[in-house]
Structure 1
Amino acid sequence: MRELAVAVSVESKKFFRSRVPFITMLAMLMIPFVGGLFMYILKDPDHAQKMGIISAKAQLAGSADWPSYFGLIAQAISIGGLMAFGFVMSWIFGREFSDRTMKDLLALPILREYIVISKFIVVFVWCLLLSMIVFVLALVVGHQVDIPGYSSELLKQETLVFFVCSVLTLLISAPVGFFATIGKGYLSPLGYVIFTMIIAQIIAATGYGQYVPWSIPALASGMDGSGEMAIEPISYVIVFITGLAGLMATAFWWRYADQN
């Protein structure tokens, strides 16, 4: 355990000394502000048009209330989170190849599995922290915009939905580490993320999204229009298996693949 703690400490220092935390936070903080802007416009479209925020041809659907706002934030973390979390995952694994530090890591007197696990720990902790910041800021923005329909019961319910979507999105991002490893860089994992986002949209449209891991977080956010978590218990199992498979495949490659 001491070796794992040391590995986590080293990976944390490498990660937080880079620009990735700042870039991902900057990108994710757009979610509450954009959501707040949409609610502001929906509250009074005519006033927004007079201020020049939208044009006369703009057509916005939806209602300006807290349930709609929470739903928008949950959908954004399910879709945008996949890109942001995938970016973090691809960087933390892919940088070892682009910076030519892979051989140095493998020469260290530490289990290679510990190195892999430490990288996943850093990614998971940062992405969960990022999700918390987004949610807290979303609450602040929502109150500043003065969106109607807020209640403590709604807050409890939507907090659960938001963080379930965040964790599900984080779990399906785990295979990105494997593709960054076998691709030895950033291109393969980012291509994987884009591919899965496209597949998720197509499968969700067919009605079988609850059985495809990349569609499940968006369905959990109520993106199908029902306003409820439109997934089955098996969906959680599928996402968990996907995340576990990504971690194990990455660890297996680091442990047994030829590194010449």
Structure 2
Amino acid sequence: MRAVVRVEALKLVCSPVGVISTLAIVVGVFALLAGITTGVAAGNAELIAQAGPAATLDWGGLLAGAAQIAAVASLLGFGIVLAWMFGREFADGTITALFALPIPRRTIALGKLVVYAVWAALAGAAVTLGVLVLGLLAGYGTPTAEAWASLGRLWVLTVLSAGIAVPVAWIATLTRSLLAAVSGTIALVVIAQIGALAGAGGWMPLAAPALWAMSDGTAVNTLQLALPVAFALVFAGLVCLSWSRLQLVR
């Protein structure tokens, strides 16, 4: 298992997909938030009207905007990385070589998911740190206890977003297609947005993390917040099961 994790970690670190996706998530959230902050400070009426709770120049407004942006950006970024980690084996034809290894394929799949989980947690920490730095640069002063709590929820949001993206790995395995997995990522984002607008609320695993973070933890209870975790574990199990049953010829 350690050898699998080392190899998969090396693949992710050295790949343009891993580097670009990390930068897109971390720098993207920072840049968008900086743009919103600058626009609000300049008195852009249209931006202020669209920003909603994020239109206030304080920690509350900054973190509200961060939660809104990270909810979508992290799900997209994490899904694309998962699509690459699993779909590339089929797209590049390297899946054939994996059958010759003396390592169970379910172990390889589990190793990929472990590396993905660690990377997602680190990326979430980088996003949170970036928001903290932006707030300090904007002159909001030392974060209050409430702001620290919101920063913690922002990190949890990114981690849970990584979890609800796990079905992308299953889609890549079933379809053996990188493009299908990317399409699955987009579908997850759309379903999450529709679910939130339809009033599914915290009972929809795809929407619960964002609603929880954006409501300061008031709109989603503990049981509802546990659903995304169970959702991720179920699909992680399906991914490992599918890899254990893989055949060279379908």
- How high is the TM-score relative to the length of structure 1? 0.87
Task: Give the Cα separation in 2 of the matches to 1:157 and 1:124.
Answer: 22
Question: Taking every aligned residue pair, what percent have the same amino acid on both sides?
Answer: 28
Paired letter, 1:32: F
Task: Give the Cα separation in 1 of the matches to 2:171 and 2:144.
Answer: 42
Paired letter, 1:58: E
- 1:51 corresponds to which residue? none
User: Shift of residue 194 of structure 1?
Assistant: 1.3
- 2:129 corresponds to which residue? 136
Moved over 3 A (4+): 226-229
- 2:106 corresponds to which residue? 113
1:233 aligns with 2:222: yes
C-alpha contact (below 8 Å) 1:176/1:246 kept by paired residues: no
- 1:10 corresponds to which residue? 7
Q: Deviations over 1:42-99 (max 9, x none)?
A: 2331xxxxxxxx6xx7342321111110121122222110000001111000110111
C-alpha contact (below 8 Å) 1:33/1:141 kept by paired residues: no
Paired letter, 1:21: G
- 1:30 corresponds to which residue? 28
1:212 aligns with 2:194: no
Where structure 1 has 5 or more consecutive residues not aligned to the other structure, the ranges are 46-53
C-alpha contact (below 8 Å) 1:40/1:145 kept by paired residues: no
Task: Give the Cα separation in 1 of the matches to 2:223 and 2:248.
Answer: 38
Task: Give the Cα separation in 1 of the matches to 2:143 and 2:132.
Answer: 12
- 1:75 corresponds to which residue? 68
Task: Give the Cα separation in 2 of the matches to 1:27 and 1:130.
Answer: 10
Matched positions, count: 243
- 1:157 corresponds to which residue? 149
CA RMSD of aligned residues (A): 1.8
Q: Which has the larger radius of gyration?
A: 1
User: Shift of residue 181 of structure 1?
Assistant: 0.9
Task: Give the Cα separation in 2 of the matches to 1:127 and 1:229.
Answer: 25
Paired letter, 2:48: L
Q: Deviations over 1:77-123 (max 9, x none)?
A: 22110000001111000110111000111220012121011101111
C-alpha contact (below 8 Å) 2:127/2:155 kept by paired residues: no
Task: Give the Cα separation in 2 of the matches to 1:234 and 1:103.
Answer: 42
Paired letter, 1:31: V
